[in-house]
Structure 1
Amino acid sequence: MLPLCSSAFSPSNERFVPGTPSHLLVNATLWTGTEVLEGVDVLLKDGLVARVSATGSGGALDGYVDKIDVGGKWVTPGIVDLHSHIGVGAAPGMRGNADTNSIKAPILPWLRSIDGFNTHDQALNNTILGGVTTMLVLPGSANNIGGQAFVFKPRKTSGNSPSEMILEPPFEDGKRVGGRWRHMKHAMGENIKGLHGATRMDQAFNFRTAYEEGRKLKVKQDAWCAKGLENTEPFPVDLNWEALADVIRGNVKINVHSYQTNDFDQLVRLTNEFKFHVTALHHATEAYLVPSLLKKAFGGPPAVAQFATHARYKLESWRGSEYAPLALANAGLTNIMKSDHPVLDSRYLLWEAAQSHIYGLNWTLAMDSVFSAPAKAMGMDHRIGHVVAGHDADVIVWDSMPLTLGATPAQVFIDGIPQLDSPHVVAKPHLQFIPPSSSNAEAGAFEAVASDGNPDRSPKQFLESIVYTGVRSAFSVNDGDVQQVFGSSDLSSSFEKHELGMVVIEGGKIVCVGLECEGVDLKGLTSVDLKGGSILPGMTSFGAPLGIQEMPSEASTQDGAVFDALGSDVPKLLAGQVIKGSESLSFGGKDLLIAHQAGLLTSISHPSSPGLVSGLSTAFRNSASNILAPGAIAQDVASLHVVIGHGGGGGRSYGGGSTGSISEQIRALKNLLLGAEDGTELGEWFEKVSKGKLPLAISVTKADHIASILILKKEVEKKTGSKLRIVLEGGQEAHLLADELAEASVGVILNPPRSYPGTWDTHRTLAGPPATKHTTASLLTSKGVVVGLGHLTSDATRHARYDAAWNYVSVPSVFTPASAIALVSTNLNKLLGVEIDTGLLAVEGDAFGAGSRIVGVLAGGRIEVF
């Protein structure tokens, strides 16, 4: 094995930019990567951490030094992402930016991610805004061996080339530098089966034959070396297999996309057959169920690089558990949280770590999972992942403790160079991080393992009456608006300054809210201490296909796409008709029950279609057992839904089955509103819309398309004399027309809640703090636009309360606690024409903090206790 870089003090950083001034961070609360040090100074010089010392004790400084008093703020190493496709799957996602996968063959160890890396990826700047300073850029998972990976930093360089962005170039002056780790991507399971028609049996043989080629090359090379000066033949070289020979030699870090136990077992046998070590399993949904198997891998168990809660999107991920990090830690395995960018926006990788702590992982291990553990897995912990003398000066100053909700960089240094120009940092409202109950988390982890990844998530305990004590604030819905009915609206002060009250519920109704409940008999009532928590309205899910789809990749688990109502291929029996969401529903799914436990008591879902008209949405109770259960359907018809855009809905096939342009879609919509389909069921529903009796929800993202819709609205209203009730879903560029939307009384449901420039139609998104003062939601709200928050995927709906709170803590000048809650409750109901009893939630701990949890809900007139 070649000698590797040691962890000794590095004398220089080859990425240092001459002329960069030194920076002294004064009075920091420092997370070094292993421990917390309070009251320290950190000197950044020549691209390195030059010194860490107690504040004021560092002695004299040479030359000019920019002193920055951080005022006790948290300072950490830069975040390290072990699994990213940034640059090779560049944003905006267009054909010319797609270089993640080659589908030439299942075995491609000779490919290299650096050859597809696009330095113009808009996500590079975005990821810096989240504190990411290093990422391992992997090929995709379309192949058993997809190719070699490279470690990049996202900092823009003077030459703006991929080679300049590599952390440790493998070549200097045209010569290979010995001892530098190489990296390679392997993948197992469904992805390869789908693309190459291979079974897992084929997969195993693919690996074994490839590694045999690598082994034979290594044998030849070793034999050549053994001859020494007696060699007369050239050194054996084979570009196809040299990387695998280097794997067996021990010089390559292997990262494996895998989910299921049978894949792990196959991989463990392969490592022992060819004697190589696996650095990390990625995704690894079932890893927490079989830690003993992983420990049998050659060279020791791999780390597990995973999502916190993103699961159930295909069969392989069906057994995913939020308690997996805790279960793995209990088994002695290393947790790493990763983004798989752009599957998850790497800008919010820190949120994955925070979630792992919410569900029981020790907070130091949660921090380790995005700082030092991935650096070690890369073999780069001699220079990144820690703030110690001699390491690269990749350092983040945070506006709050990193695991608190909405923690945002106040400054990001990469190679000692500040990356944020005039960052927008606000004083966040006071947030108390309530550590999760270890007993609850341990019980959740035990149940997840004991049930083989399929715990019973159905409601189990019901009460008619209860008293909640330790209540800091209470909110209710009055005349369709969220209002605070108890507690101070000033959440910027500490908990100790607030008097805690109680809320009494009897017979499914609140009978008392206040400091005391005189005249209310509390004897015999179950009492639950909310520990400074809150009573909130129940929330609503919209955007995700809850109740209509369980696994996107499995046709048998979903309703499927309905015929384009305007297409030529519509069966005669369905011609001119519109499908209702209530005709599509399935109950009892995991995501439905998880959403319910997360406080989303109601969902509004509609059919999907390849054409302009999707169908009619319905509002239903997430916890219902079936469609015939009492109260399962809260409102049979909510809104009529259409799609304007490129692919994924609008612009696919309508009117004779041909692909329609955006202009044709707009014209078709206008004609429908003016009676083009009179005499049909489709025409009847559009007549209700044109008369203002039914909301029209339009899925649209681009500002120019939104502008055309606003013109359409004005023209139709002039001809009909009625006001259209239009709401936009998606709306990533809606901020560019905030005043016009407010004037037209058009609301916006932002989906996803935090925008990402994933397509050309969304590339002008508003970044939000620290780059801009406003989030998209706060800017629209400040202009008077009614805003709701939706979700693209079913598993993301559980974050609704956190998404609302994120806007509140990021822009408290615009949002109050009540108006933030409305983003995921009453605003959605208003915009989509739903009139329902929202129910109530009992939240333990700070309802606007990441550590809080829902301990009960009031739905359908009864109390469920979690």
Structure 2
Amino acid sequence: MTNTSYPTGENPADVYKDTRMDTIWEFRKAYNAAKQIKDKQDEYCARALSNDWKDLGEFPDALQWEALVDVLRGRVKVNVHCYEAVDLDGLVRLSNEFSFPIAAFHHASEAYLVPDLLKKAYGKPPAIALFATNARYKREAYRASEFAPRILAEQGLTSDHFVLNSRYLLYEAQQAHFYGFPENLAIASVTSNSADVMGMGHRIGYVKEGYDADLVIWDSHPMALGATPIQVFIDGIAQLESPFTIGKPDAFQRSPKVPNFDEEARKAITYEGLPPLLPQKRPLDSTIVFRNVESVYKVEEGLMRRSQLDQANVLGTVVARNGRIVCYGEAESCLVSATEDGPVSVIDLEGGSVSPGLVSFGSPLGLEHINQEPSTNDGNVIDPLRYTVPDVLGGDSAMIRAVDGLQYASRDALLAYRAGVTVGVTAPTHKGFYGGLGTSFSLSAEHKLEQGAIVQEITAVHVSVRHFSKPSVSTQIAALRRLLLEPSEGEAGVWFDKIKTGQMPLVVEAHSADIIATLIILKQQVEAETRQQLRFTITGASEAHLLAKELGENDIGVILNPPRPFPYVWEDRRILPGPPLSNNSAIMELIHNNVVVGIGCEEIWSARNLPFDVAWAAIESGARLSREQALAIGSVNLQKLLGVDIDETQMDLVAARGGDLLSFESRVVAVLSPRQQVVDLFEGEH
């Protein structure tokens, strides 16, 4: 049994410059041609079987249509790359017109909105191969929902998960489970469902006698975040000679209890994939009482600190007014202060916690709504190493400011905010050496003029030094050396003067250990000549672990992006994979060498998953990374490394129910913003 696949929608339109009507018409012509050949073949075979050989001629065949003829005969499975309801409808009609089943629709962002349509496909409903949370990267994916797997399951339809990084296929299923996809179906979505859809369910995808002996032994329940193989068997042969294992609490061996998102799933359907996301802001004079709070995390003197509120098995209370905590601790004393004046709302956190909001960095969040739609993006800055910068911008010394291109209230920003990521830091979008001036902004604001919408107008200077950029790496380093050592000129000189005097960090995207080593030497050279200590931050940093000792000794911070490195290109090839292949992850190797570490978000849609990424880092450390340290790598560390001035009295705080912000069992129910003087609630919304 073989498979064939073809795309619909924007992909063929971009390549062939046709319309959706053109595409479906070409499919119909192709299938009609295949049907005619099939009918002639059937007639030929019928005559041959009847010994009617007179003038029979050669067997009718056409190499061009051979695969489609086999589709019509049921010998080849059809997989379709198809996002929108209109394209799903076209293929379902085609399947009935020519009587062939569809094995699966891939990506299928809007499938959950039209389950009845899918049930009308010829033969049986197709499987739906989905991303768990990857969405809105192009217009066709704009209405994708994290609740799609559970909604399809409730309609009796199966789904399996398309994957981004094949090492973490199980993570896709875990995310779907978090948002309500039943545990058994989530596991099946990456095992038996996939095998059945491929036509391989008789050999793989199940633990049964007589099946291929391909098995994974996990160190925790497969749906527990951070589940890691401790052994892999292929044909019954162990693949890991000396796996590195992590000690985990007993709770990780049980099925994780996940939050209730029933109301959100209902809204996803009611609003056809675009439910309102702006938070419900409480009046300035309102008071919020959080009861049954297990702990409070706050930044004090630049460090993340934890206050344990439960005493003698009695949980504590937190009182907030105008976005600020006015009391936390023993319930009775805090409740007295809460009832002194103004209206009071009470929220039960059920053993949850209050902690600083996380910070997004590494993607153009705040500068784009839909990655592949230029009309929704700020665009790329002009790189002076490749192009002539117009005099109206100040020529080659121009410094573009990300703050000028900020776009608020994007769906990705608001989804991240609801997940506890409250602040974004972004650099101007660039594809070459020169970036510009970064900015820090609130993810909850509707527009730039709203109070607290801009956290810090200018944060740091950003550049990139990459092997596949133009011109050469040595040219890029030469430009950076000149900017740091030669007399200052123009607007760029103003900002590089601040770098030279240690007032502002230089943030350099670099992945290769060779480039990072050159940057370390350059920092040493500049500091020796200027007698000033520079603030350097390396982002990306796939191979930074190879120089962890040197980075620590030279006081260079690192923002790993992605947080679990992946060898996308040659300069990423020497990653440190972490357990079970290495004892340390890249994060732990750097922290062990006294490097200040933060973690980034690759794309705007992934900002909402930052709590999962931070929690994963803590889990993967095997308890060597405390909860306070883990929260810091997703918040205060990032702000330090990116030049965001930290006012501890103005930091957003996030209230999570059922655990702390990093718990897979918890969900965010409110954000306290002293800067905006509000408490945003995510429950009881209309």
The answer to whether structure 1 residue 414 and structure 2 residue 217 are counterparts is no
Contact 1:431 1:849 (8 Å CA) reproduced = no
Output one character per residue of 1:480-535: Cα deviation in whole Å (capped at 9) or x when no partner.
211112269xxxxxxx9965322222343223333444264155732222222221
User: Which of 474, 477, 493 is equivalent to 1:663?
Assistant: 474
Counterpart for residue 330 of structure 1:
154
Map 1:703-722 onto structure 2 (within 5 A): 703-722=513-532
Aligned-partner SS, 2:333: coil
Counterpart for residue 536 of structure 1:
355
Counterpart for residue 239 of structure 1:
63
Whole-angstrom distance in 2 between the partners of 1:291 and 1:375: 22
Provide TM-score, normalisation by structure 1.
Answer: 0.74
User: Which of 124, 134, 159 is equivalent to 1:310?
Assistant: 134
Contact 2:328 2:334 (8 Å CA) reproduced = no
Counterpart for residue 728 of structure 1:
538
Aligned-partner SS, 2:360: strand
Aligned partner letter, 2:355: L
Contact 1:353 1:367 (8 Å CA) reproduced = yes
Whole-angstrom distance in 1 between the partners of 2:477 and 2:94: 56
Counterpart for residue 754 of structure 1:
564
CA distance 1:628–1:519, shift in 2 (3 Å): closer
Contact 2:223 2:256 (8 Å CA) reproduced = no
Whole-angstrom distance in 2 between the partners of 1:437 and 1:739: 41
User: How many residues are matched?
Assistant: 662
User: Which of 205, 210, 214 is equivalent to 2:25?
Assistant: 205
Contact 1:405 1:849 (8 Å CA) reproduced = no
Map 1:436-447 onto structure 2 (within 5 A): 436-438=258-260, 441-447=261-267
Map 1:641-790 onto structure 2 (within 5 A): 641-647=462-468, 651-652=469-470, 660-675=471-486, 678-790=488-600
Whole-angstrom distance in 1 between the partners of 2:349 and 2:205: 37
Greater CA drift, 823-832 or 381-390: 381-390
CA distance 1:550–1:431, shift in 2 (3 Å): farther
Contact 1:354 1:850 (8 Å CA) reproduced = no
Whole-angstrom distance in 2 between the partners of 1:813 and 1:616: 37
Counterpart for residue 7 of structure 1:
none
Whole-angstrom distance in 1 between the partners of 2:277 and 2:507: 32
Whole-angstrom distance in 1 between the partners of 2:652 and 2:429: 28
CA distance 1:225–1:393, shift in 2 (3 Å): same
Whole-angstrom distance in 1 between the partners of 2:100 and 2:457: 58
Counterpart for residue 252 of structure 1:
76
CA distance 1:791–1:385, shift in 2 (3 Å): same
Whole-angstrom distance in 2 between the partners of 1:517 and 1:385: 56
1:287 Cα shift? Answer: 0.7
User: Which of 501, 517, 533 is equivalent to 2:316?
Assistant: 501
Counterpart for residue 267 of structure 1:
91
Whole-angstrom distance in 2 between the partners of 1:410 and 1:275: 46
More helix by share: 2
Contact 2:135 2:144 (8 Å CA) reproduced = yes
Counterpart for residue 292 of structure 1:
116
Aligned partner letter, 1:857: V
Counterpart for residue 178 of structure 2:
358
Contact 2:548 2:593 (8 Å CA) reproduced = yes
1:234 Cα shift? Answer: 4.5
Whole-angstrom distance in 2 between the partners of 1:249 and 1:186: 18
1:345 Cα shift? Answer: 0.2
The answer to whether structure 1 residue 391 and structure 2 residue 207 are counterparts is no
Contact 1:408 1:770 (8 Å CA) reproduced = yes
Contact 2:465 2:473 (8 Å CA) reproduced = yes
The answer to whether structure 1 residue 367 and structure 2 residue 192 are counterparts is no
Counterpart for residue 844 of structure 1:
657
Aligned partner letter, 2:666: S
Aligned-partner SS, 2:175: helix
Greater CA drift, 831-840 or 561-570: 561-570
1:473 Cα shift? Answer: 2.4
User: Which of 473, 485, 489 is equivalent to 2:307?
Assistant: 485
Provide TM-score, normalisation by structure 2.
Answer: 0.93
Map 1:116-135 onto structure 2 (within 5 A): none
CA distance 1:772–1:216, shift in 2 (3 Å): same
Aligned-partner SS, 1:812: coil
Output one character per residue of 1:20-43: Cα deviation in whole Å (capped at 9) or x when no partner.
xxxxxxxxxxxxxxxxxxxxxxxx
Output one character per residue of 1:406-446: Cα deviation in whole Å (capped at 9) or x when no partner.
011111112111121211111124557653444xx222122
Whole-angstrom distance in 1 between the partners of 2:93 and 2:472: 53
Task: Please tell me the root mean square deviation across aligned C-alpha atoms, in Å.
Answer: 1.9
CA distance 1:566–1:685, shift in 2 (3 Å): farther
Contact 1:429 1:809 (8 Å CA) reproduced = no
Aligned-partner SS, 1:646: coil
Contact 1:303 1:333 (8 Å CA) reproduced = yes
Whole-angstrom distance in 2 between the partners of 1:681 and 1:251: 66
Output one character per residue of 1:205-244: Cα deviation in whole Å (capped at 9) or x when no partner.
2212221232222223222321224456454443322111
CA distance 1:520–1:451, shift in 2 (3 Å): closer
Contact 1:434 1:852 (8 Å CA) reproduced = no
Whole-angstrom distance in 1 between the partners of 2:589 and 2:243: 17
Aligned partner letter, 1:550: H
The answer to whether structure 1 residue 865 and structure 2 residue 681 are counterparts is yes
Greater CA drift, 561-570 or 401-410: 561-570
Aligned-partner SS, 1:194: helix
Whole-angstrom distance in 2 between the partners of 1:719 and 1:500: 57
The answer to whether structure 1 residue 818 and structure 2 residue 637 are counterparts is no
Whole-angstrom distance in 2 between the partners of 1:487 and 1:819: 19
Whole-angstrom distance in 1 between the partners of 2:547 and 2:4: 45
Whole-angstrom distance in 2 between the partners of 1:497 and 1:410: 38
Greater CA drift, 183-192 or 237-246: 237-246
Map 1:560-571 onto structure 2 (within 5 A): 560-571=379-390
Counterpart for residue 375 of structure 2:
556
Whole-angstrom distance in 1 between the partners of 2:33 and 2:197: 26
Whole-angstrom distance in 1 between the partners of 2:190 and 2:314: 38
Counterpart for residue 612 of structure 2:
802
Contact 1:470 1:530 (8 Å CA) reproduced = yes
Provide structure 2 residue ranges, at least 5 long, that are not aligned to the other structure.
Answer: none
Output one character per residue of 1:70-97: Cα deviation in whole Å (capped at 9) or x when no partner.
xxxxxxxxxxxxxxxxxxxxxxxxxxxx
Output one character per residue of 1:743-762: Cα deviation in whole Å (capped at 9) or x when no partner.
01000000111111110000
Aligned partner letter, 2:95: T
Contact 2:365 2:424 (8 Å CA) reproduced = yes
Map 1:422-441 onto structure 2 (within 5 A): 422-429=242-249, 431=251, 435-438=257-260, 441=261
Aligned partner letter, 1:764: R
User: Which of 347, 354, 364 is equivalent to 1:545?
Assistant: 364
CA distance 1:325–1:480, shift in 2 (3 Å): same
Whole-angstrom distance in 1 between the partners of 2:234 and 2:91: 37
Contact 1:675 1:686 (8 Å CA) reproduced = no
1:285 Cα shift? Answer: 0.6
Counterpart for residue 467 of structure 1:
289
Provide structure 1 residue ranges, at least 5 long, that are not aligned to the other structure.
Answer: 1-180, 489-495, 653-659
Counterpart for residue 573 of structure 1:
392
